[in-house]
Chain A
Amino acid sequence: MTLSTPILWVILPMGIAAIVGVFYNRYIFSIILTSVTAFALSMLALFFPENMTLSLGPLNLVFVESLAILGRQITIAYEMLPFITLIFFMNGLWALSSGISSVPKTFRPVSLVMTSLLTAALGVEPFLYAALLIETAVLVSIPMLSPLGQQPHAGVLRFLSLQTLALPFILLAGRLLTGVEALPPDSPLVFQSALMLGLGFGLWLAIFPFHSWVPMVSQRGSPLVTSFLLFIMPTTILLFSLNFINRYTFLRESQGLYETLRLIGTIMIVIGGAWSAFQNNLKRAFGFSALTETGFSLLAIGLTSQGGLVWMLLLFPVRALSFWLWGYILTLIEVRTGSLQIKGVQGFARRYPVLSIGLLLAQLSVAGLPLLAEFPIKISLITAAFETSTPIGVLSFLGNLGVFLFTVRLLAFLVTPEDADFPTRWSFTEETFEYLPVLIMILALLALGLFPHTFLSGIIQTLTAFSQLQ
């Protein structure tokens, strides 16, 4: 029996999401179905045989990489499976923790549809059509960002508008690029197509000055939902962007492109870091730190000649775990305190020490504190940035301190008692089902920080899908 890989990782999860969508009110059923599906597809991607043949007793399932749709193809190559493992695993993790009351019921089916659409976007041929699949994922995400019973806020409208604006730029750039390859590098068409491409990706990745929706959506949405969105969208789009560098020689060999990416990445790190350092709202601070992380990914692409793409890929899983932990704990805190203003969490650590430690460690992991998951990657990245250009190295280092400074401020508020005259006694009031995932994730972040290559080397295999970039 012959099947194709897109049926497994695109069509099947969409079908399951439709079922989950129908039963979205039965939250235990929807949590179990979504997370089991996502974890199962993740494990299948992890252990998928290279010869693309699965033997289930007497049944031999032979898989082909492509599925033809209306004269075009969706291809999920074996080389992409490590990345697919990551996004489906993280989808499962987010869905598993989505039983908290403040998380919209639509989150589970929507997250599964988004993951499958973005998987399809990575494999569609010609790859420019991915822009339409990404736009569809954006449209699908609206119900989870602006749940029923809430007025649509300006952040969601801006998110929708800016992401939709990216679509024409990417598709037009794609058309222009087809004629550019034969032209000399100084042809104006080369610059015009690169500019359109840059605008498209700038809008997609919320690069300054198109970033304003990120803190707005973070502030108004459920932290678990926004952390998922701010993980899956930039991660997939960044990987998708490698298609352009891989495909077009003039982009790949353009020093100007890498210099621009380093510069934009540094600007994003500085802006995100500076704003997050002085935020008084924990959710907005998360949004700004997500911008910093996008900056680091762009910096990594800008440092391709020093192995930056490997660091970019290594950052994906550790960032995903940190974002999940950050979003999960913020959601729990919001349920308890009703507010995520920094003053609203004063003395919180005295009643909920494990959640507080988890939140601080998630932030410190993103900030790249030694021993935690992002440290080995960020230290390599910043060192390479220093070697390339001292100002870029200094600025990236300083920008990265922003999240660290915010964490120090937050720590002060978390441990300071609300009433100095009658300080709350330290107690341990978390339920087991709340602190256990936090403890497990803290251990995972420590393990990834101590043994990065043991756990993360698999994701680097994704690079083999881009033949010119290895």
Chain B
Amino acid sequence: MLTLSTLAFVLIVITAMVILVFRDWRVNAGALAAQYLAAFALVTLSWPIGMSIVKLIVGWMATATIALTCLRQKESEPSSEPAASLFLRGLSGLLVILVIFILAPNLRENIFPKLDLVIVQGGLMLLGMALMQLGTNSDPYLTIISLLSLLSGFEIIHAGLEISTLLTGLLAIVNLGLALVGVYFIAKTSEQEETTASGEES
């Protein structure tokens, strides 16, 4: 169990960093799907698998919804970015990781004494990375991905505090609602880009 939770935590750190650093929707969608798998593994430490799997299914559904919309709407070639941007975002991600490693034991001791440290660290890592992402971009797609990550981080911690069918159901609605809002935004952005492009051509 310890190995599994450690692996899940490592996967969370890697996927959160990938989402923070890279801007290609394919990479981000893949990382988000892997992130939900890791979050599921951490939730199983607190909840029975039957309940935990709801989070995995909902997360993958949300990811699939967004990814399929991107597949239809976004351009096929990923846009290249200067290495300096990637480096700076990577650096900010490392800063978040450092802060979480310093803060998590203290927070666990004072606020969440009943939770495993790995649960607190995993949840906070997603919350921290998502906050960093939200603060550093204004792209609708990345905003939605960040919000989904943020909720995922919160759900890992909250699962250790309470088990409730209604809460799980409502959180599933919120996650899927966010994904639908993401689809709405992506479709609109693409429409606008197409209109602008056709205007320029004519």
When A142-B181, A151-B189, A188-B110 are in contact, do A168 and B162 touch as well, CB less than 8 Å? no
Complex CA–CA separation, A154 to B134 (angstroms): 12
Q: How far is the CB of B150 from chain A (nearest CB, A)?
A: 7
Are the CB atoms of B185 and A152 closer together than 8 Å?
yes
The yes or no answer to A171 lying at the interface (CB within 8 A) is yes
B160 nearest CB neighbor, chain A only: A175
The yes or no answer to A420 lying at the interface (CB within 8 A) is no
Q: How far is the CB of B20 from chain A (nearest CB, A)?
A: 15
> Which of B147, B166, B167, B169 is within 8 Å of A164, CB to CB?
B147
> Which of B110, B150, B161, B165 is within 8 Å of A165, CB to CB?
B150
Which residues of chain B are within 8 angstroms of A392 by Cβ–Cβ distance? none
B193 nearest CB neighbor, chain A only: A151
Question: Digit string of A163-186 for contact with B (CB within 8 Å is 1, else 0)?
Answer: 011011001100110000000000
> Which of A132, A140, A142, A172 is within 8 Å of B170, CB to CB?
A132
The yes or no answer to A3 lying at the interface (CB within 8 A) is no
Complex CA–CA separation, A154 to B185 (angstroms): 12
> Which of B146, B147, B158, B191 is within 8 Å of A171, CB to CB?
B158
When A70-B165, A70-B169, A71-B165 are in contact, do A160 and B111 touch as well, CB less than 8 Å? no
**Those 5 A-B pairs whose CB atoms lie nearest each other, nearest first:** A132-B170, A168-B154, A139-B177, A70-B166, A72-B166
Are the CB atoms of B110 and A154 closer together than 8 Å?
no
> Which A residues fall within an 8 A CB radius of B?
69-72, 129, 132-133, 135-136, 139-140, 142-143, 146, 148-152, 154, 157, 160-161, 164-165, 167-168, 171-172, 175-176, 188-189, 192
Which residues of chain B are within 8 angstroms of A71 by Cβ–Cβ distance? 164-166
Which residues of chain A are within 8 angstroms of B146 by Cβ–Cβ distance? 161
Are the CB atoms of A167 and B138 closer together than 8 Å?
no
Q: How far is the CB of B8 from chain A (nearest CB, A)?
A: 20
Complex CA–CA separation, A161 to B143 (angstroms): 8
> Which of A69, A139, A146 is within 8 Å of B166, CB to CB?
A69
B195 nearest CB neighbor, chain A only: A149
Are the CB atoms of B177 and A72 closer together than 8 Å?
no
Number of A-B contacts (CB under 8 A): 87
Question: Digit string of B128-156 for contact with A (CB within 8 Å is 1, else 0)?
Answer: 00000010001010010011001100100
Q: How far is the CB of A304 from chain B (nearest CB, A)?
A: 29
Are the CB atoms of A175 and B177 closer together than 8 Å?
no
Q: How far is the CB of A74 from chain B (nearest CB, A)?
A: 10
Q: How far is the CB of B42 from chain A (nearest CB, A)?
A: 16
Q: How far is the CB of A122 from chain B (nearest CB, A)?
A: 15
Are the CB atoms of B184 and A143 closer together than 8 Å?
yes
Are the CB atoms of B158 and A175 closer together than 8 Å?
yes
The yes or no answer to B96 lying at the interface (CB within 8 A) is no
Are the CB atoms of A172 and B138 closer together than 8 Å?
no
Are the CB atoms of B167 and A132 closer together than 8 Å?
yes
Q: Can you name 15 extra interface pairs (CB under 8 A) apart from A129-B166, A146-B184, A160-B147?
A: A70-B169, A71-B164, A132-B170, A133-B170, A139-B177, A139-B178, A142-B184, A148-B188, A165-B150, A167-B151, A168-B151, A168-B154, A168-B158, A172-B154, A175-B161
Are the CB atoms of A167 and B154 closer together than 8 Å?
yes
Which residues of chain A are within 8 angstroms of B143 by Cβ–Cβ distance? 157, 160-161
Complex CA–CA separation, A51 to B63 (angstroms): 49
Are the CB atoms of B165 and A172 closer together than 8 Å?
no
The yes or no answer to B127 lying at the interface (CB within 8 A) is yes
A143 nearest CB neighbor, chain B only: B184
Are the CB atoms of A146 and B188 closer together than 8 Å?
yes
Q: How far is the CB of B119 from chain A (nearest CB, A)?
A: 13
Which residues of chain B are within 8 angstroms of A152 by Cβ–Cβ distance? 140, 185, 188-189
> Which of A143, A146, A149, A192 is within 8 Å of B191, CB to CB?
A149
> Which of A132, A143, A188 is within 8 Å of B174, CB to CB?
A132
Q: How far is the CB of A176 from chain B (nearest CB, A)?
A: 7
A73 nearest CB neighbor, chain B only: B166
Q: How far is the CB of B155 from chain A (nearest CB, A)?
A: 9
B161 nearest CB neighbor, chain A only: A175
Complex CA–CA separation, A345 to B172 (angstroms): 47
